Amino acid sequence: MTRVLDGNAVATSIRDGLSTSIDSLGEQGVTPGLATVLMSDDPSSETYVSMKQRDCEEVGINGIHVEIDVEAPAEELLSTIAELNTDPAVNGILVQLPLPDHVDKRAVLQAIDPMKDVDGFHPENVGLLVAGEPRYKPCTPHGVQKLLEAADVDPDGADAVIVGRSDIVGKPLANLLFQKQQGGNATVTVCHSHTDDLAAKTSAADIVVAAAGVPNLIDETMLAEGATVIDVGVNAVDADTEKGYRLTGDVDFERAKSVADVITPVPGGVGPMTRAMLLYNTVKAAGLQHDISVDLP
Protein backbone atom coordinates (compact mmCIF):
# COMPACT_ATOMS: atom_id res chain seq x y z
CA MET A 1 0.00 0.00 0.00
CA THR A 2 1.60 3.28 -1.09
CA ARG A 3 1.81 5.94 1.59
CA VAL A 4 1.01 9.44 0.35
CA LEU A 5 2.76 11.93 2.61
CA ASP A 6 0.62 14.80 3.80
CA GLY A 7 2.95 17.82 3.82
CA ASN A 8 0.22 20.02 5.25
CA ALA A 9 -0.16 17.78 8.30
CA VAL A 10 3.59 17.56 8.96
CA ALA A 11 3.94 21.33 8.46
CA THR A 12 1.07 21.94 10.91
CA SER A 13 2.75 19.87 13.58
CA ILE A 14 6.00 21.81 13.08
CA ARG A 15 4.12 25.09 13.29
CA ASP A 16 2.42 23.93 16.50
CA GLY A 17 5.84 23.13 17.94
CA LEU A 18 7.11 26.54 16.87
CA SER A 19 4.22 28.25 18.68
CA THR A 20 5.54 26.71 21.90
CA SER A 21 9.08 27.92 21.08
CA ILE A 22 7.70 31.40 20.36
CA ASP A 23 5.81 31.39 23.69
CA SER A 24 9.01 30.56 25.54
CA LEU A 25 10.88 33.35 23.75
CA GLY A 26 7.96 35.64 24.65
CA GLU A 27 8.43 34.80 28.33
CA GLN A 28 11.91 36.29 27.97
CA GLY A 29 10.61 39.41 26.26
CA VAL A 30 11.49 38.41 22.69
CA THR A 31 9.09 38.31 19.73
CA PRO A 32 10.73 36.93 16.58
CA GLY A 33 10.51 39.26 13.57
CA LEU A 34 10.70 38.40 9.88
CA ALA A 35 11.12 41.03 7.17
CA THR A 36 10.02 40.11 3.66
CA VAL A 37 11.29 42.28 0.84
CA LEU A 38 9.52 42.22 -2.51
CA MET A 39 10.97 43.82 -5.64
CA SER A 40 8.77 42.28 -8.28
CA ASP A 41 5.37 42.68 -9.87
CA ASP A 42 5.08 39.00 -10.65
CA PRO A 43 1.75 37.80 -9.20
CA SER A 44 3.20 34.50 -7.96
CA SER A 45 5.99 36.30 -6.07
CA GLU A 46 3.36 38.59 -4.54
CA THR A 47 1.31 35.55 -3.52
CA TYR A 48 4.32 33.76 -2.00
CA VAL A 49 5.24 36.81 0.08
CA SER A 50 1.70 37.37 1.31
CA MET A 51 1.45 33.69 2.31
CA LYS A 52 4.70 34.04 4.28
CA GLN A 53 3.36 37.12 6.05
CA ARG A 54 0.12 35.29 6.87
CA ASP A 55 2.12 32.33 8.22
CA CYS A 56 4.03 34.72 10.51
CA GLU A 57 0.84 36.21 11.87
CA GLU A 58 -0.63 32.76 12.55
CA VAL A 59 2.28 31.53 14.66
CA GLY A 60 3.04 34.80 16.48
CA ILE A 61 6.04 36.05 14.50
CA ASN A 62 6.14 39.79 13.91
CA GLY A 63 5.94 40.22 10.11
CA ILE A 64 7.41 43.31 8.46
CA HIS A 65 6.90 43.78 4.75
CA VAL A 66 8.83 46.13 2.46
CA GLU A 67 8.02 46.66 -1.22
CA ILE A 68 10.47 48.22 -3.62
CA ASP A 69 9.48 49.47 -7.05
CA VAL A 70 10.56 46.95 -9.67
CA GLU A 71 12.29 49.72 -11.64
CA ALA A 72 14.10 51.29 -8.69
CA PRO A 73 17.91 51.21 -8.73
CA ALA A 74 19.57 48.23 -7.01
CA GLU A 75 20.98 50.65 -4.41
CA GLU A 76 17.49 51.15 -3.01
CA LEU A 77 17.19 47.45 -2.29
CA LEU A 78 20.70 47.35 -0.81
CA SER A 79 20.02 50.30 1.48
CA THR A 80 16.75 48.69 2.63
CA ILE A 81 18.70 45.53 3.50
CA ALA A 82 21.29 47.61 5.36
CA GLU A 83 18.52 49.18 7.47
CA LEU A 84 16.92 45.79 8.21
CA ASN A 85 20.34 44.40 9.14
CA THR A 86 20.59 46.90 11.99
CA ASP A 87 16.93 46.82 13.05
CA PRO A 88 16.77 44.90 16.36
CA ALA A 89 13.09 44.00 15.76
CA VAL A 90 14.10 42.06 12.64
CA ASN A 91 15.63 38.63 13.20
CA GLY A 92 15.21 37.27 9.70
CA ILE A 93 15.34 38.88 6.26
CA LEU A 94 13.88 37.23 3.19
CA VAL A 95 14.34 38.84 -0.21
CA GLN A 96 11.82 37.24 -2.54
CA LEU A 97 13.45 35.81 -5.67
CA PRO A 98 13.62 36.24 -8.61
CA LEU A 99 14.83 39.84 -8.70
CA PRO A 100 14.63 42.13 -11.74
CA ASP A 101 17.42 41.67 -14.32
CA HIS A 102 19.19 44.94 -13.43
CA VAL A 103 19.75 43.75 -9.85
CA ASP A 104 22.74 41.51 -9.07
CA LYS A 105 21.19 38.68 -7.03
CA ARG A 106 24.55 37.58 -5.67
CA ALA A 107 25.34 41.07 -4.31
CA VAL A 108 21.90 41.25 -2.68
CA LEU A 109 22.17 37.87 -0.97
CA GLN A 110 25.65 38.75 0.28
CA ALA A 111 24.38 42.06 1.67
CA ILE A 112 22.10 40.28 4.15
CA ASP A 113 23.61 39.89 7.62
CA PRO A 114 24.42 36.14 7.74
CA MET A 115 22.83 35.95 11.22
CA LYS A 116 19.54 37.18 9.67
CA ASP A 117 19.84 35.11 6.49
CA VAL A 118 16.91 32.78 7.21
CA ASP A 119 16.93 31.48 3.62
CA GLY A 120 20.44 30.15 4.22
CA PHE A 121 21.74 31.49 0.88
CA HIS A 122 24.58 33.72 2.15
CA PRO A 123 28.01 32.18 1.37
CA GLU A 124 28.83 32.05 5.10
CA ASN A 125 25.74 29.92 5.75
CA VAL A 126 26.37 27.79 2.64
CA GLY A 127 29.89 27.17 3.97
CA LEU A 128 28.60 26.16 7.40
CA LEU A 129 26.15 23.75 5.78
CA VAL A 130 28.86 22.13 3.65
CA ALA A 131 31.08 21.89 6.73
CA GLY A 132 28.33 19.95 8.50
CA GLU A 133 27.62 22.72 11.01
CA PRO A 134 24.50 24.32 9.54
CA ARG A 135 23.26 27.55 11.10
CA TYR A 136 20.17 27.95 8.90
CA LYS A 137 19.34 24.99 6.68
CA PRO A 138 17.74 26.25 3.44
CA CYS A 139 13.98 25.90 3.79
CA THR A 140 13.07 23.51 0.97
CA PRO A 141 15.87 20.97 1.55
CA HIS A 142 15.24 21.15 5.30
CA GLY A 143 11.54 20.56 4.62
CA VAL A 144 12.39 17.47 2.56
CA GLN A 145 14.58 16.16 5.38
CA LYS A 146 11.79 16.73 7.91
CA LEU A 147 9.25 15.00 5.65
CA LEU A 148 11.50 11.94 5.38
CA GLU A 149 11.86 11.93 9.16
CA ALA A 150 8.09 12.20 9.64
CA ALA A 151 7.59 9.27 7.27
CA ASP A 152 10.18 7.16 9.15
CA VAL A 153 12.30 6.98 6.02
CA ASP A 154 15.87 7.06 7.31
CA PRO A 155 18.38 8.09 4.63
CA ASP A 156 21.14 6.26 6.56
CA GLY A 157 22.71 3.80 4.12
CA ALA A 158 20.17 4.53 1.39
CA ASP A 159 21.00 5.38 -2.21
CA ALA A 160 19.45 8.80 -2.81
CA VAL A 161 19.18 10.41 -6.23
CA ILE A 162 18.45 14.14 -6.46
CA VAL A 163 17.34 15.39 -9.85
CA GLY A 164 18.43 19.04 -9.96
CA ARG A 165 21.56 20.88 -8.79
CA SER A 166 20.30 24.38 -8.04
CA ASP A 167 21.75 26.46 -5.23
CA ILE A 168 18.41 26.55 -3.45
CA VAL A 169 17.32 22.91 -3.67
CA GLY A 170 19.59 20.28 -5.22
CA LYS A 171 23.00 21.30 -3.88
CA PRO A 172 21.99 22.01 -0.26
CA LEU A 173 19.80 18.90 -0.15
CA ALA A 174 22.73 16.76 -1.30
CA ASN A 175 24.75 18.24 1.55
CA LEU A 176 22.06 17.49 4.10
CA LEU A 177 21.51 13.92 2.96
CA PHE A 178 25.15 12.84 2.89
CA GLN A 179 26.34 14.55 6.08
CA LYS A 180 27.58 12.23 8.79
CA GLN A 181 24.70 13.06 11.12
CA GLN A 182 21.12 12.12 11.87
CA GLY A 183 18.91 12.58 8.81
CA GLY A 184 21.98 12.08 6.61
CA ASN A 185 24.39 9.24 5.87
CA ALA A 186 22.84 8.53 2.45
CA THR A 187 24.93 7.84 -0.62
CA VAL A 188 23.89 10.72 -2.83
CA THR A 189 23.90 11.10 -6.60
CA VAL A 190 23.05 14.54 -7.97
CA CYS A 191 21.66 14.56 -11.52
CA HIS A 192 21.14 17.50 -13.88
CA SER A 193 20.45 18.31 -17.49
CA HIS A 194 23.78 16.85 -18.62
CA THR A 195 23.30 13.54 -16.80
CA ASP A 196 23.62 10.54 -19.05
CA ASP A 197 20.79 8.01 -18.70
CA LEU A 198 18.80 9.62 -15.89
CA ALA A 199 16.45 6.64 -15.71
CA ALA A 200 19.33 4.28 -14.90
CA LYS A 201 20.23 6.46 -11.92
CA THR A 202 16.71 7.00 -10.57
CA SER A 203 15.66 3.39 -11.02
CA ALA A 204 18.55 2.21 -8.84
CA ALA A 205 17.66 4.58 -5.98
CA ASP A 206 15.92 3.99 -2.66
CA ILE A 207 15.04 7.69 -2.43
CA VAL A 208 14.37 9.91 -5.45
CA VAL A 209 13.97 13.65 -5.01
CA ALA A 210 12.75 15.42 -8.13
CA ALA A 211 13.67 19.12 -8.28
CA ALA A 212 14.11 19.87 -11.98
CA GLY A 213 11.11 22.05 -12.81
CA VAL A 214 10.05 19.69 -15.62
CA PRO A 215 6.44 18.47 -15.43
CA ASN A 216 6.07 14.69 -15.21
CA LEU A 217 9.78 14.05 -15.78
CA ILE A 218 9.72 10.97 -13.53
CA ASP A 219 7.30 8.09 -14.00
CA GLU A 220 7.06 4.49 -12.80
CA THR A 221 9.44 3.22 -15.49
CA MET A 222 12.22 5.27 -13.85
CA LEU A 223 11.64 4.04 -10.28
CA ALA A 224 12.51 0.98 -8.28
CA GLU A 225 9.70 -1.00 -6.65
CA GLY A 226 9.35 0.34 -3.08
CA ALA A 227 11.12 3.66 -3.67
CA THR A 228 10.47 6.81 -1.67
CA VAL A 229 9.64 9.62 -4.07
CA ILE A 230 9.75 13.28 -3.00
CA ASP A 231 8.47 15.75 -5.56
CA VAL A 232 9.79 19.29 -5.11
CA GLY A 233 8.70 20.52 -8.54
CA VAL A 234 5.94 23.09 -8.90
CA ASN A 235 5.00 23.64 -12.53
CA ALA A 236 2.04 25.50 -13.98
CA VAL A 237 0.66 23.55 -16.94
CA ASP A 238 -2.17 24.67 -19.21
CA ALA A 239 -5.53 23.38 -18.03
CA ASP A 240 -9.20 24.03 -18.41
CA THR A 241 -9.53 25.77 -15.04
CA GLU A 242 -10.56 29.27 -13.98
CA LYS A 243 -6.93 30.37 -13.96
CA GLY A 244 -6.14 28.56 -17.22
CA TYR A 245 -3.53 26.35 -15.56
CA ARG A 246 -3.04 23.80 -12.84
CA LEU A 247 0.00 23.01 -10.70
CA THR A 248 1.84 19.78 -11.22
CA GLY A 249 5.08 18.33 -9.95
CA ASP A 250 8.10 16.79 -11.66
CA VAL A 251 6.70 13.32 -10.95
CA ASP A 252 3.78 11.71 -12.75
CA PHE A 253 2.01 11.06 -9.45
CA GLU A 254 -0.55 8.46 -10.54
CA ARG A 255 1.96 6.38 -12.47
CA ALA A 256 4.76 6.68 -9.90
CA LYS A 257 2.33 5.72 -7.12
CA SER A 258 1.97 2.29 -8.67
CA VAL A 259 5.55 1.38 -7.67
CA ALA A 260 6.50 3.80 -4.87
CA ASP A 261 6.18 2.87 -1.19
CA VAL A 262 6.10 6.51 -0.13
CA ILE A 263 5.31 9.52 -2.31
CA THR A 264 4.52 13.24 -1.93
CA PRO A 265 1.73 14.96 -3.84
CA VAL A 266 1.85 18.35 -5.57
CA PRO A 267 0.36 20.49 -4.19
CA GLY A 268 0.33 19.53 -0.51
CA GLY A 269 3.73 17.86 -0.22
CA VAL A 270 6.98 19.81 -0.05
CA GLY A 271 5.43 23.29 -0.53
CA PRO A 272 3.89 23.66 2.97
CA MET A 273 7.12 22.32 4.47
CA THR A 274 9.18 25.06 2.81
CA ARG A 275 6.93 27.66 4.42
CA ALA A 276 7.10 25.99 7.85
CA MET A 277 10.90 25.81 7.75
CA LEU A 278 11.13 29.55 7.07
CA LEU A 279 9.25 30.12 10.34
CA TYR A 280 11.57 27.61 12.01
CA ASN A 281 14.68 29.51 10.86
CA THR A 282 13.18 32.82 12.01
CA VAL A 283 12.54 31.45 15.50
CA LYS A 284 16.04 29.96 15.57
CA ALA A 285 17.46 33.33 14.45
CA ALA A 286 15.66 35.15 17.28
CA GLY A 287 17.12 32.70 19.80
CA LEU A 288 20.65 33.02 18.39
CA GLN A 289 20.52 36.81 18.27
CA HIS A 290 19.32 37.06 21.88
CA ASP A 291 21.58 34.27 23.12
CA ILE A 292 18.55 32.28 24.28
CA SER A 293 18.53 28.52 23.87
CA VAL A 294 15.20 27.62 22.22
CA ASP A 295 13.78 24.12 21.81
CA LEU A 296 12.82 23.68 18.16
CA PRO A 297 10.44 21.05 16.76
Binding residue (CB under 6 A) for ligand NDP from 80, 125, 140, 289: 140
Q: Whole-angstrom distance between the N-terminal and C-terminal Cα of the chain?
A: 29
Contact between residue 271 and residue 49 where contact means Cβ atoms under 8 Å apart? no
Q: Tell me the residue nearest to ligand NDP as measured from the CB.
A: 166
Write down the catalytic residue from 52, 137, 201, 284: 52
SS3 153: coil
126 makes contact with ligand NDP (CB under 6 A): no
E strand segments, the chain: 3-4, 33-38, 62-67, 92-95, 159-163, 187-191, 207-210, 228-231, 235-238, 245-248, 262-263
At its nearest, how many Å lie between ligand NDP and the CB of residue 240? 22
Binding residue (CB under 6 A) for ligand NDP from 129, 234, 259, 263: 234
Which residues contact residue 199 at a Cβ distance below 8 angstroms, ignoring those fewer than 6 apart?
221, 222
Contact between residue 297 and residue 280 where contact means Cβ atoms under 8 Å apart? yes
Q: Long-range contacts of range 128-133, CB-CB < 8 Å, 24 or more positions apart?
A: 129/172, 129/175, 129/176, 130/175, 132/179, 132/180, 132/181
Which range binds ligand NDP by CB under 6 A, 18-26, 49-57, 73-81, 194-202?
194-202
At its nearest, how many Å lie between ligand NDP and the CB of residue 274? 3
Give 102: exposed, middle or buried? Use CB within 10 Å, 0-12, 13-18, 19+. exposed
Rounded to whole angstroms, the Cα distance separating 118 from 136 reads 6
Write down the catalytic residue from 55, 113, 117, 119: 119
137 as an active site residue: the answer is: no
52 as an active site residue: the answer is: yes
Binding mask 22-61 for ligand NDP (x = CB under 6 A): ----------------------------------------
Binding residue (CB under 6 A) for ligand NDP from 50, 110, 189, 235: 235
Which range binds ligand NDP by CB under 6 A, 17-25, 33-41, 53-61, 159-167?
159-167
Write down the catalytic residue from 96, 145, 179, 289: 96
According to DSSP, the β-strands at 235-238 and 245-248 are antiparallel
Q: Specify the DSSP element, H or E, that contains 17.
A: helix 7-27
Which range binds ligand NDP by CB under 6 A, 46-54, 108-116, 187-195, 288-296?
187-195
Binding residue (CB under 6 A) for ligand NDP from 212, 259, 277, 286: 212
Q: For residues 164 and 265, which CB has a smaller minimum distance to ligand NDP in the complex? A: 164
At its nearest, how many Å lie between ligand NDP and the CB of residue 44? 9
Binding residues for ligand NDP (CB under 6 A) = 140, 163-166, 168-170, 191-195, 198, 211-214, 217, 232-235, 270-271, 274
